[in-house]
Amino acid sequence: MPAVGLVYDPLYLEHDTGHHPENAIRLQAVTSHLEESGLLARLRSVVARDATVDEVAYIHERDYVESVRWAAGRGGVWLDADTFVSPRSYDAALRSTGGCLSAVDAVLAGEVESAFCLVRPPGHHAMPSRAMGFCLFNNIAVAVEHARRHHGLRRVAVVDFDVHHGNGTQAAFYADPDVLYFSTHEYPLYPGTGHWREIGQGAGLGTTVNVPLPAGTGDRIFDRIWKGMLTPILRRFQPELVLSSAGYDGHFVDPLASLAQSAAGFADLVAGLRDLARELCGGRLVLMLEGGYDYTALAWSIRNSLEALLDEEPTPDPLGRRDYPPPVGIDDLLTVIAKTHGVDRV
């Protein structure tokens, strides 16, 4: 059984957002389920640390970082229409980003083959100078820079399967030829970015791959995308590390979107990433939690994902799968994206 790490810290619960969809109950539901299932005991704890301001500043402007600290000190402030800062949010955000850096360190040191970061606040919408979409600091973007600056890696791949496009991560590396950003997401949906024509710019032209999908896409189409598009693109890129923004809000019961995926379907995606990481970069894979707002679906999806990392068959969940007909026009959409990125067939 491969060694799989888990990052979690109780401080993440103190990012108090009240009745907001992105709330502490999400992680409580997951940790309770993992403990009751016995799965937690089969994982190796990776201790989270606080990211330093210098590390967060790899991606974010220092004035913005200070503004988040200031807002937390005010006792509770809305940074935008979706993103709330409570008194401990700044501390939790530093620990969230730092936990992801700890996971990267553990994987690159060979202490674990792969790791899952059960963190909050999430990160992939956060821009250099502002919060967005429940996100304060861009955990995965900072982790990319940490891997390159502190471990000497050159090529890092980011695979984002959250239902919402990771506009902050894309923006950070849009002109960077050494970071591959591959995103599947429902479109059109918040934040409105991620059209297939967004493919990078300058030296980074072609290293941004967006797969915008219609509602009702379902597990079977994702399987085609992983096998027919992600696999050849990752093989061509030859990453030294694979990081993933693991969002589970594409589940068919999730209240915020409608991609019609399932817990078992997410396990298939993670198993595909696991196999590609083993083939291309010694199994070095780190998943970082983003969205997922139905507590039952989230808990089971993460459990099944961890089982995939452990080379175990996913335990059947009570919600099951739903088999939808392919969305109208999906073949034409996938064909044009594949052609754009030099892939033969999806």
Query: Which pLDDT does position 75 carry in this prediction?
Result: 87
CA 3 and chain centroid, separation: 20
Query: Which pLDDT does position 278 carry in this prediction?
Result: 98
139-151 helix and 89-108 helix, angle to the nearest 10 degrees: 40
Query: Which pLDDT does position 76 carry in this prediction?
Result: 84
- Whether the pLDDT of residue 287 is over 80: the answer is yes
| pLDDT, tens only, 248-265 | 999 999 999 999 999 999
Q: Which long-range contacts (CB under 8 A, 24 or more apart) does 319-323 make?
A: 319/251, 319/252, 319/253, 319/262, 319/263, 320/262, 321/219, 321/262, 321/264, 321/265, 322/218, 322/252, 322/260, 322/262, 323/218, 323/220
- Whether the pLDDT of residue 332 is over 90: the answer is yes
Q: What is the DSSP letter of 317?
A: P
| pLDDT, tens only, 222-246 | 999 999 999 999 999 999 999 999 9
Q: What is the DSSP letter of 333?
A: H
| Boundaries of every domain in the chain | 4-340
Mean pLDDT of the chain: 97
Q: What is the mean pLDDT of residues 121-144?
A: 98
| pLDDT, tens only, 178-210 | 999 999 999 999 999 999 999 999 999 999 999
Q: Which residues are catalytic?
A: 125
Q: In CATH terms, is domain 4-340 a member of 3.40.800.20?
A: yes
pTM score over 0.75? yes
- Whether the pLDDT of residue 345 is over 80: the answer is no
The closest alpha carbon to 177, from 214, 158, 202, belongs to 202
Query: Which pLDDT does position 224 carry in this prediction?
Result: 97
* CB 218, CB 201: distance < 8 Å: no
- Whether the pLDDT of residue 211 is over 80: the answer is yes
Query: Which pLDDT does position 16 carry in this prediction?
Result: 97
Percent of the chain with pLDDT over 90: 97
Percent of the chain with pLDDT over 70: 100
Cα-based distances in Å from 297 to 250, 305, 340: 10, 12, 34
| pLDDT, tens only, 33-51 | 999 999 999 999 999 999 9
Query: Which pLDDT does position 231 carry in this prediction?
Result: 98
